[in-house]
Amino acid sequence: MGVAGSPSVGKSTLSVLVAKRLGLPHLDVSKVAREAKAGGFDNQGMFVLNIRKARNAVRETLLKDRVRGYVVEGSFLWDLVPKSMLDLVVVLRCDPLILEKRYRRTGYSQQRIADNVVGELIGYVSAKCFEVYGEKCVEIDISGKDVSNAVEKILYAIESKRGEVVDWLASASSKKRLLKYLS
């Protein structure tokens, strides 16, 4: 199964815990890509992937333990893991204003904050995952959930193969701070 979501949504923390609960190995596609030297850092300190090289490294790693299964996570899952290798993809969603605070604490530049907040606001990661994984994809809102509740919500989505509809744009007009990102 796969776990995707915007930066700082909680993919790594939650996918490691879900993997432990399911008794499956955890795989961070970003880590595999870095270890395979499938890219490098740009002048803003962001890792830029060589998609083809990263995809090959991830596939090779996943094929080693295909029988048992795995929990694989990453921001660009859709570019690196083919539909045939995943039974389910859970897209973690989080209120863009919560993410904005996390990005500020992390020291992201204003442009990077805006890009990531808009990405979550419009559901970019979710849209890409649904485009690639289709019926194998569900999304869940983990805004305001503590780690154990978020893990339970993910496990329920895995068991039921059901998620929820998350639409931040529908509530954007009531959250005036979000409107600045849309102008």
Q: Which tens digits make up the pLDDT trace of 64-77?
A: 866 678 999 998 89
* pLDDT attached to residue 171: 79
The 10 Å CB-count burial string (b at 16+, else e) for 94-110 is: bbbeebbebbeeeebee
Residues 6+ apart with CB under 8 A from 152: none
Three-class DSSP category at 166: coil
Say how far apart CA 130 and CA 146 lie, in whole Å.
Answer: 26
The low-confidence residues of the chain, meaning pLDDT below 50, are: none
Structural domains in the chain (count): 1
Which residues span the domain enclosing 167?
Answer: 2-182
* pLDDT attached to residue 169: 87
* pLDDT attached to residue 149: 96
- CATH number of the domain bearing residue 78: 3.40.50.300
* pLDDT attached to residue 39: 81
